[in-house]
Structure 1
Amino acid sequence: MVIGIAGAVVASIIVLIVLFKLMWRVAEPNEALIISGSKHGEGLGFRTVTGRGTLVLPGIQVVRRLSLDLNEAELDVECVTKQGIPVHVKGVVIFKVGDDPVSIANAARRFLDQQKAMGQRVHNVFAGHLRSIVGGLTVEDMIRDRERMTGETRAASGSEMEKLGLIIDSLQIQEILDPTGYIENLAAPHAAAVHRDARIAAAEADRAATEAEQEAAARKAEATRNSGIQQAGYQAELDTAAARAQQAGPLAQAASRQEVVVQETKVAELEAHHREQQLQADVRKPADARAYETRTKAVADRDARISAAEALARETELKTAAEANRVKVAATAEAEATRARGLASAEATRATGEAEAAAAEARGLAQAEAARALGLAEAEAIKARAAALAENQEAVVAQQLAENWPQIVKAGAEAFGNVEHMVLLNGADGMADMFAKALTMGGTGLGLARQLLATMGADGAKAEPSATGKPPVPQVIPVQQEQARS
């Protein structure tokens, strides 16, 4: 019982939670809930909810959502100015549904099911006021004081936008097009004056730059000249000092060279004597030793080559003898093998011929024995059939009829093949009687029996006497075998 109460409580809680989720609606930050279906205050007939949740009775109240997002309407209006000049004004209006309850209620009444049509409605409102305001302005006023045109248009459209529940976030006049070229012609004098002033200023700047460049070039040439004169003086002083230094140098070099030559002569004499002794020790004696070593090595190499040639000749002679012996042995072995293979092949051929002859003889004997046995068996069968026919002709005929009964029935049924309609008064019994009469009258059964008896009689009359002198045995051929042979 406690478990049942607890289950009921849990089920009730679950039902309440489900009902609460079905009835609870939450408005997103960028939307307003429009709840209709019950009486509300202030005579609106519906309730608006923004930024919070509320309970809704399913089936009694209906909840719809009104977007509070920003919307954009592009203005593309053809107007005529105070001067009668047609202009094309392009701009953009950014608007949204107001956040206050009155604006939300006004927008809900007008755009709840047509929120996508807001842009077109706003465009129509602004297009009418923009044409009216441009009609009281000149082209110069529109160009020089665009803020005035924007402010007047926004002020004129504000009251109507409030009635629609909309507020204007931004109004921008982006472009004023003049299909007649008035604006371009209006700007031509100013453009020409600006171009003239620009050319004059460019010419003045060019003249001043040229004068400054010429003055700078003159100063540069003067500085170059002064620098060259100073450099020439410095170079002359350098050349004089260098000549003096060049004259003093060779004299000092000659004196010092004389002393050096004397000392070098003495050193050369000592070095020549030293080289002679060094050559005796380093060249002549090692050369004599290398010559003796070379001669000794040449004699040893010659003796080694002679020994190697003699050994190679002996080795070649032994290899030749061994190869000849090997060829001789191989030829003898090949001849013996060939003779053995010939004898084996002849023996095999002879054995094969004898085996085939024996097999052919055995097959002939077997075929002859089989033919003889078959003939004896057929003769015994014919003899048995003749004896049976002589003893009990009716039984033989009955057997033949039984063996060929399907063909007999088929032949009897063909008698009804051309009958389109048949009326039988006694049902199945009448059909059996009719079929029996068809078989007996002119019938296949009696006709077949007569044919069998006639065939047996003809065969008995035409049978030839046997070699032993006994009367010939009539040959009984079944109708089925005769049909098969035909």
Structure 2
Amino acid sequence: MWRVAEPNEALLISGSRHRTEGIGEGLGFRIVTGRGTLVLPGVQAVRKLSLDLNAADLAVECVTQQGIPVHLRGVVIFKVGDDYISIANAARRFLDQQTKMVDRVHNVFAGHLRSIVGGLTVEDLIREREKLTEQTRASSGAEMEKLGLIIDSLQIQEILDPTGYIENLARPHAAAVQRDARIAQALADRMATEAEQEAEARKAEATRDSWLQRTGYQAEMDKAAAESKQAGPLADAAARQQVIVQETRAAELEAQRREQQLQVDVRKPADAQAYETRTVAEAKRDARISAAQAEARETELQAAAEATRVRAAAEAEADAAKVRGLAQAEATRAVGTAEADADQARGMAAAEAAKALGLAEAAAIKARAEALRDNQDAVIAQQLAENWPEIVRAGAEAFGNVDHMVLLNGADGMSDMFAKALTMGGTGLGLARQLLASMNPAQENGVAGQKNGTPVAPVAPVAPVRLDTEGA
């Protein structure tokens, strides 16, 4: 009949009406925690509700604001509240289903996580994970209170990205870190190499100095030994000439040996010194080249400035020449216009004179044509009379190539022959025809024509003329 509640459980006694402390109206059952109570068997029923901590693993698939799917892994640690209202709410919902409490809590948090993650980006999830936790606790607090549960801890343990978005976000940073690491390693290697080269150079310099000192000491020792060896032979030079020759040859061989030894021992240090000298010379040469380039650049700028000044002067001179040329052209144009007007005036005067001359000639021709039309025989007779000497001279030319001519009938035969020469198409007849053609220039095939724009009256055809020598 006497039941005692353990520290981690609550006793729920039902079967009689009881009032719970802190609640105005009764719940219909009594809650006992941390103490003992009297229970009437058969009248009252006693049940236990665990107040232990429970953990619900969260595995929620969400989609961010960017449309990128992510998988959230976390854990929720919860328990039934210690106050009577929380115990009563939890008892009414989970008294016979305490094993399903974890699933219910998982469903509540999964819904809130999907809603909150849908308004965030992947970068927000990574940088502000605590903010996500606080928002989830705040949004699910009311529902957990209705269930009579309180949240002791909510942790987002892992954010999985099946698309590789998070990994791609990390690539630039990883590449930058790797780049900085490689640069740092390269700088360290370079500094180490420079230190090693400097140490080797100092070592070579010390070796060279030591060798030079040893060589100098050896030369002095050889010189002293040679002098001591040659002291006796020099006193008896005449008697020991052959000995001196042999010793000289030995000295030459020794010198050759020493020269070879010097080539072997000195060459490398000397090459190193030559390399140093050449490097210094190249550095000085580069400095001189840089100075020469700077001077050349300065000269080039000065030349450009001078070219600009010359170009400006040339442009001014060209403008002046252009103005002078325009003035010259205007003057030449005016002179040409005046000369053209004068030439036009002279041409018009010449044309008027030619026109007057042509009109006069046309009038003369017209008068001659009218006279020929009115009294053709008289005109022809007059022209023939005026030109008979030429006609007779032309007829006589027919006998110019005759060396000997025999006439049987004397003077009568001579007259007949001369008349025939004039009337049978000889030179005299041709001259007469030309005379008639000049008298009637406009007559052609008996039809009226026009010459040089002047109308010519039609003239009757001229009948052939037969010359009678007797009449002449």
On whether the aligned pair clears a TM of 0.5, the verdict is: no
- The structure richer in helix per residue is 1
TM-score, normalised on structure 2? 0.42
